[in-house]
Structure 1
Amino acid sequence: MNDSKINQKTSPIAYSCYYTQNREGEQFAAEHVLSFQISGVLTLNNGTKEYVFKPGDFRFIKRNQLIKFNKQPDPNTAFQSISIYLNQEALRDFSIKHNQKTSLIKNPETETIFQLKEVPLLKSLMDSLIPYINEDQLITEELQALKVNEAINILLQCKPELKDILFDFNEPGKIDLEAFMKKNFHFNVQLDRFAYLTGRSLATFKRDFQRVFDISPSRWLLQKRLQQAYYLIKEKGKTPSEVYLEVGFEDLSHFSFAFKKQYGLSPSKV
């Protein structure tokens, strides 16, 4: 079960509750998000590093990135978390009202997921949302806006260096296509998403990709994912059901069909 009792569909505040077996998947983080882990364990992987969040942990996730997740419920309760999404409109309004700007000289920030220290202000903010969960009540739009602004203020106090991330309203710039794709090929997203994240239009992405790899993006992605799957099964001893999501396939049957077509045998026979 995935429950969002305290928010409407477009609300910046979300409550996640999941009772049954581990849930794996991936998502595109379109907005910055501040989250609190109530129970269960959340494992995130951004293609470079793995992060594990346990009950009581706070996290900040930077926008415009691809993330794989594993939600592990607590045997005695559930997987529960509260998230506050900091959308660009709210951040622009805050920056104008409080004259917040990014630094003229920025240090490149390599981290995209942050585990935040527990401070009373963060705990108080998240605790203030618990009654709405317990009482199954919707939060009014006015209160949602107040909570988003409170979250921004608290983040700036407990981790001031996030200012250059929160108030950077630039879209992704053109980056090294080869390095990005080799890092992120295992994310199962559309080509237009890859294009956006590399700072290109879809047409320019396809043209640059062909020039760099001498093959179409779709064909390269299929080959790269199958090669990684073969390595994980043969060298790491993983099963097909363990690797198909990890390397970017949507379902096991499609993975098995493509694998057999490529290597002449089913993945279970490797």
Structure 2
Amino acid sequence: MPKEIVYSCYVNRSREGEQFAPVHVLSYQIAGAITFNDGNQTQTVNEGTFSFCRRNKLIKFLKQPPEKGEFKTVSVYLDEDTLKSFSMEYGYTADKHTDGPAITVLKPLPLLQSFMNSLQPYETLNEAVNENLVALKLKEAILVLLKANPALKDVLFDFNEPGKIDLEAFMLQNYQFNVDIKRFAYLTGRSLATFKRDFEKIFHSSPSRWLQQKRLQEAYYLIKEKRKKISDVYLEVGFEDLSHFSFAFKKTFGVAPSALVS
């Protein structure tokens, strides 16, 4: 299967995680549902729904297979080189910079359904599939997207890197995402050195120390007050590993997280 066209399929249990979206993605939910949270709002994409994910977004997700069935989705990844080439060939440009939610649900046009159905043969093809054939499908995906939602023109063809934004507001909204400091710097429109300098001026702490303390404080609240499961909380607040979370929690609060629920 070409890397630009991806089928996801598995059975029986929900899967939770998070990701950084470096490119735009057009998806169709074939079976099951997926719930996204970008730190600002939650969006559920149900079976039979078309969606568009913006690049440069931090997203938490929960994939839910249908009862006694398989979770299935097909996604088309639209990288910057493909979009720049399309822009030059067809004359599309962004008129303005627009911000918005990570996920946009698209109208269920027959044209979208027909396009997604046409991708089915690609599921069995390997990456050696003819590059020109894949390039045509990517062009078609862009044209179909523009037909389904013309306003996406200002999103697809905006090739500017993230501009310098309010660091304090961004970090308070996104601290629970498990991404490295370089990624936070990039998303706030700063070099790593400038990010660290600005961060310490605002929070009077290093980014790594502040992130850990902020995540642990949120975890304490969720376990103690909201009675959430520890196995869910450590992922929700941005820790990768349960043992590391438990060690850091006890070092900070003097008790293991399990002591809050006993």
Normalised to the residue count of structure 1, the TM-score between the two structures is 0.92
Write the letter of the residue equivalent to 1:33. V
Which of residues 160, 170, 174 is equivalent to 1:180? Answer: 170
Partner in structure 1 of residue 94 of structure 2? 102
Counterparts of 1:1-270 in structure 2 under 5 Å?
6-7=1-2, 11-103=3-95, 106=96, 108-133=98-123, 136-138=124-126, 139-270=129-260
Q: What RMSD in Å do the two structures reach over aligned CA positions?
A: 1.2
- CA displacement, residues 170-202 of structure 1 (integer Å, 9 cap, x when unaligned): 000111100000000000111000000001111
Q: CA deviation at 1:107?
A: 6.7
- Partner of 1:244: helix, strand, or coil? helix
* Pairs aligned (count): 258
Write the letter of the residue equivalent to 2:173. K
CA distance in structure 1 between the partners assigned to 2:233 and 2:140 by the alignment: 41
Write the letter of the residue equivalent to 2:118. S
Q: CA deviation at 1:169?
A: 0.2
CA distance in structure 2 between the partners assigned to 1:52 and 1:107 by the alignment: 26
Write the letter of the residue equivalent to 1:137. L
Write the letter of the residue equivalent to 1:236. K
- CA displacement, residues 99-141 of structure 1 (integer Å, 9 cap, x when unaligned): 11111xx3743323101111011000100112333xx233432
Q: CA deviation at 1:143?
A: 1.6
Q: CA deviation at 1:254?
A: 0.9
Does structure 1 conserve the Cα–Cα contact (< 8 Å) formed by 2:53 and 2:103? Answer: yes
CA distance in structure 2 between the partners assigned to 1:56 and 1:90 by the alignment: 27
Q: Which moved more, 1:54-63 or 1:14-23?
A: 14-23
Does structure 2 conserve the Cα–Cα contact (< 8 Å) formed by 1:239 and 1:268? Answer: no
Write the letter of the residue equivalent to 2:125. Q
- Partner of 1:245: helix, strand, or coil? helix
Write the letter of the residue equivalent to 1:175. I
CA distance in structure 2 between the partners assigned to 1:18 and 1:141 by the alignment: 28
CA distance in structure 2 between the partners assigned to 1:140 and 1:125 by the alignment: 18
Q: Structure 1: which 5+ runs fail to align?
A: 1-5
- Give the % identical residues: 58
Write the letter of the residue equivalent to 2:242. L
CA distance in structure 1 between the partners assigned to 2:97 and 2:132 by the alignment: 36
Does structure 1 conserve the Cα–Cα contact (< 8 Å) formed by 2:38 and 2:101? Answer: no
Stretches of 4+ aligned residues off by more than 6 angstroms? none
CA distance in structure 1 between the partners assigned to 2:121 and 2:80 by the alignment: 27
CA distance in structure 1 between the partners assigned to 2:134 and 2:76 by the alignment: 9
Normalised to the residue count of structure 2, the TM-score between the two structures is 0.95
Write the letter of the residue equivalent to 2:241. D
CA distance in structure 2 between the partners assigned to 1:17 and 1:211 by the alignment: 46
Does structure 1 conserve the Cα–Cα contact (< 8 Å) formed by 2:23 and 2:78? Answer: yes
